[in-house]
Amino acid sequence: MDEVNQHKEGAEQPSAKTDEVMVKIEHLRKCFGSKEVLKDINLTLHKGENLIVLGRSGQGKSVTIQCIVGLLTPDKGSVKVFGQEVAELSNDELKELRTRVGFLFQSGALYDSMTVKENLEFALTRVLKIKDQQELDQRVKEVLEGIGLPEAIDKMPSDLSGGMRKRVGLARTLIVKPEIMLYDEPTTGLDPITSREISELILKMQKKYKTSSIIITHDMECARITGDRVLIMNDGEYIAQGTFEELQHSEDEFVKSFFLDTL
Ligand SMILES: Nc1ncnc2c1ncn2[C@@H]1O[C@H](COP(=O)(O)OP(=O)(O)OP(=O)(O)O)[C@@H](O)[C@H]1O
């Protein structure tokens, strides 16, 4: 495979849903001062697939995501999203790109002074400029049913549990129907049962909205449930890729260390 350094038996054909490429990163390098965080990152996200990125803390996983949406500029290499070189986009083109890419960050923060409905409508009016109240109502109802929380519509975020807030955060991102989803630690801070619910929801939403996603996580259960393909990052590079099951049975000690509690 050309996009990653092959690693023993760990790399097989990707189980992508289609061949269409949504994100292509080649030889990405990013430094902060003298610190080389990303050395040589190569990644391809195909349409309709969930790609997991595993790595220890501070490896530059979030920096990679910020390069994808143009919040950081690479020092070297190419980052193409929808076939466009992100570093060459104008501000208006970047804004347009960001309407097609949804993020769910660790905090997944909602606006505390707004109800769930207002939080969801805000995303629609701001990103898609939808003004028609009937359409707003319809979309809010549909997405809340999708995440299994129709009764939360008039609640304030402070009246919801952490897991419910996370689900509404996911709904707020998905309501604008992004073509690409970027998840940064979607289950961090949640108990195992709620984490599992969120992972299953991510999988359900992938099927419903046909999104292509990059999911950064330390949660191996989340990786197992949601991932079509897994990349393992170490020292600024991807050192292995494969399906969860392939990597789970790797002979390599470093790869094995991620999967110790999963067998
Ligand atoms: N804007 C920035 N300026 C300077 N250094 C930065 C900046 N953003 C990230 N870094 C540094 O880059 C390194 C990688 O950070 P990053 O957040 O991408 O790691 P990560 O792999 O996502 O880790 P974690 O799993 O802990 O979130 C860290 O050492 C961080 O301090």
Same domain, 148 and 215: no
Same domain, 208 and 86: yes
Per residue in 22-60, pLDDT tens? 999 999 999 999 999 999 999 999 999 999 999 888 888
Q: Is residue 70 lining ligand 1, measured as CB closer than 6 Å?
A: no
Q: Is residue 236 lining ligand 1, measured as CB closer than 6 Å?
A: no
pLDDT of residue 58: 86
Q: Atom 6 of ligand 1 has which residue's CA nearest to it? A: 32
Tally Cβ neighbours within 10 Å of residue 129: 8
pLDDT beyond 50 at 219: yes
Tally Cβ neighbours within 10 Å of residue 91: 8
Same domain, 149 and 23: no
Same domain, 92 and 204: yes
Same domain, 113 and 77: no
pLDDT of residue 200: 92
Supply the range of the domain harboring residue 67.
Answer: 1-100+180-189+198-263
pLDDT beyond 50 at 231: yes
Confidence tier at 245 by pLDDT (50, 70, 90): very high
Mutate-to-test residue for ligand 1 from 32, 184, 188, 217, highest number of ligand atoms within 8 A of CB? 32
At 4 the three-state DSSP class reads coil
Same domain, 184 and 56: yes
Buried/exposed 24-36: b ≥16 CB within 10 Å, e otherwise: bbbebebeeeeee
Same domain, 83 and 112: no
The percent of residues above 90 in pLDDT, for the chain, comes to: 61
Question: What token pair was written down for 88?
Answer: 């060459």
pLDDT beyond 50 at 185: yes
Higher-pLDDT residue of 89 and 188 is 89
Confidence tier at 6 by pLDDT (50, 70, 90): very low
The pTM assigned to this predicted structure is 0.87
Same domain, 93 and 203: yes
CA distance 100 to 114: 24
For 21-32, the three-class secondary structure string (H helix, E strand, C coil) is EEEEEEEEEEEE
Same domain, 51 and 129: no
Mean of pLDDT values over 249-261: 89
Q: Atom 4 of ligand 1 has which residue's CA nearest to it? A: 32
What is the number of the ligand 1 atom nearest to the C-alpha of 66?
18
What's the mean pLDDT when you consider all of the chain? 88
The CATH code of the domain that includes 60 is 3.40.50.300
Confidence tier at 1 by pLDDT (50, 70, 90): very low
Mutate-to-test residue for ligand 1 from 36, 61, 184, highest number of ligand atoms within 8 A of CB? 61
Same domain, 8 and 75: yes
Split into its structural domains, the chain has a count of 2
Confidence tier at 3 by pLDDT (50, 70, 90): very low
Per residue in 80-131, pLDDT tens? 999 999 999 999 999 999 889 988 866 557 889 999 999 999 989 988 889 9
pLDDT of residue 260: 84
Length of the chain: 263
Phi, psi of 255, deg, nearest 5: -60, -45
Same domain, 93 and 217: yes
Q: Is residue 217 lining ligand 1, measured as CB closer than 6 Å?
A: no
Higher-pLDDT residue of 261 and 44 is 44
